[in-house]
């Protein structure tokens, strides 16, 4: 059962209880107005019971310390609009924030690396009956993975034991950001010039750095912190900055690599990480939910393709009412 349906059920129960209570009190008021003497003690006892029940109901429904009420307030479960929550994992300056801006606005502009955990929201209209939902994306300062592991914000993650993450995107890239003497990022022309020599070795160095950060241990901890079979619908690896690689390939900087086999080249570079993620998905019995994409957060290349698949899966998961990721995988496999 979804959070929205649970909230509606609670509201309906509360409304019915209120209506029944109003009717009951009205009957009591009429009886008090003209009570037969023989019924007075019974009416007084019944009145006391009504008062006690009313106090108990009020505490259950409206007392702030109630755990479920706190969870609703923190996680937004009471929202009428369903939310597709997407978490991005990756090193700082790998393009997470730029990727989010590309998804939310469709425009390309330089983005500073986030310094704190940030959440971004935008409305969407589904292809399934035109229903509306919000896409909610979150990133963090990539150097501090502890922000997600030690104290993940409940407002986005959901409470422990009932996580609300629908998609996990691991973001890597092929080129380390370079800076000038005063600390500003160099332009693409300068970056490409710096990568025009020993191109393969420099790219491999960046790939090794990314794979060291998103290690087997990291993946295990991330999934342990965020994974919920009733919510997850996508686990994705995104390789960013494919636009810069294409330019270097066209310039002949990578021997044996052409536009026709560029994807194969990148797949070989990140084969160890791809295998780790596939194995993690397999261990959680959701291998069918894993995918990988080559994108450019700067130009928008393939970004819409990757996120369209995430949103399509979310729509199916939410409106079909699947309750377990393994069940959802089977539904996806059968069309």
pLDDT at 257: 97
Mean pLDDT by 10 residues, the chain (335 residues): 49 57 59 57 58 52 44 48 90 89 68 64 71 83 69 84 92 94 93 96 97 93 88 93 97 96 97 96 88 95 91 78 53 52
pLDDT at 237: 97
Q: Is the pTM of this model over 0.95?
A: no
pLDDT at 1: 46
Tokens encoding 117 = 């955990």
């Amino acid at each position: 059962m979804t959070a929205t349906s649970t909230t509606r059920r609670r509201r309906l129960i509360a409304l019915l209880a209120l209506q029944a209570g109003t009717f009951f009190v009205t009957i009591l008021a009429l009886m008090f107005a003209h009570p037969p003497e023989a019924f007075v003690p019974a009416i007084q006892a019944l009145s006391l019971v009504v008062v006690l029940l009313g106090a108990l109901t009020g505490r259950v429904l409206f007392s702030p310390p109630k755990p479920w009420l706190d969870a609703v307030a923190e996680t937004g479960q009471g929202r009428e609009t369903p939310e597709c929550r997407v978490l991005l994992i990756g090193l700082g300056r790998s393009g997470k924030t730029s990727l989010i801006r590309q998804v939310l606005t469709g425009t390309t502009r330089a983005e500073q690396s986030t310094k704190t955990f940030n959440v971004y929201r935008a409305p969407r209209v589904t292809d399934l009956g035109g229903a509306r939902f919000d896409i909610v994306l979150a990133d963090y300062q990539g150097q501090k993975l502890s922000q997600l592991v030690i104290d993940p914000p409940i407002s986005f993650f959901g409470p422990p034991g009932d996580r609300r993450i629908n998609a996990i995107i691991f973001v890597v890239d092929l080129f380390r950001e370079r800076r000038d003497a005063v600390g500003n990022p160099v332009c693409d022309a300068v970056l490409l010039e710096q990568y025009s020599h020993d191109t393969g070795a420099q790219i491999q160095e960046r790939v090794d750095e990314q794979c060291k950060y998103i290690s087997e241990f990291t993946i295990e901890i991330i999934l342990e912190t965020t994974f919920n079979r009733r919510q997850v619908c996508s686990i994705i690896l995104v390789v960013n900055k494919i636009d810069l690689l294409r330019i270097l390939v066209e310039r002949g900087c990578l021997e044996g690599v052409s536009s026709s086999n560029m994807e194969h080249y990148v797949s070989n570079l990140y084969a160890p990480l791809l295998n780790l993620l596939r194995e993690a998905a397999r261990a959680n019995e959701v291998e069918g939910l894993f995918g990988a994409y080559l994108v450019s957060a700067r130009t928008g290349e393939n970004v819409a393709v990757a996120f369209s698949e995430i949103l399509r899966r979310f729509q199916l998961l939410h409106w079909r009412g699947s309750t377990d990721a393994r069940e959802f995988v089977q539904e996806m496999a059968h069309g």
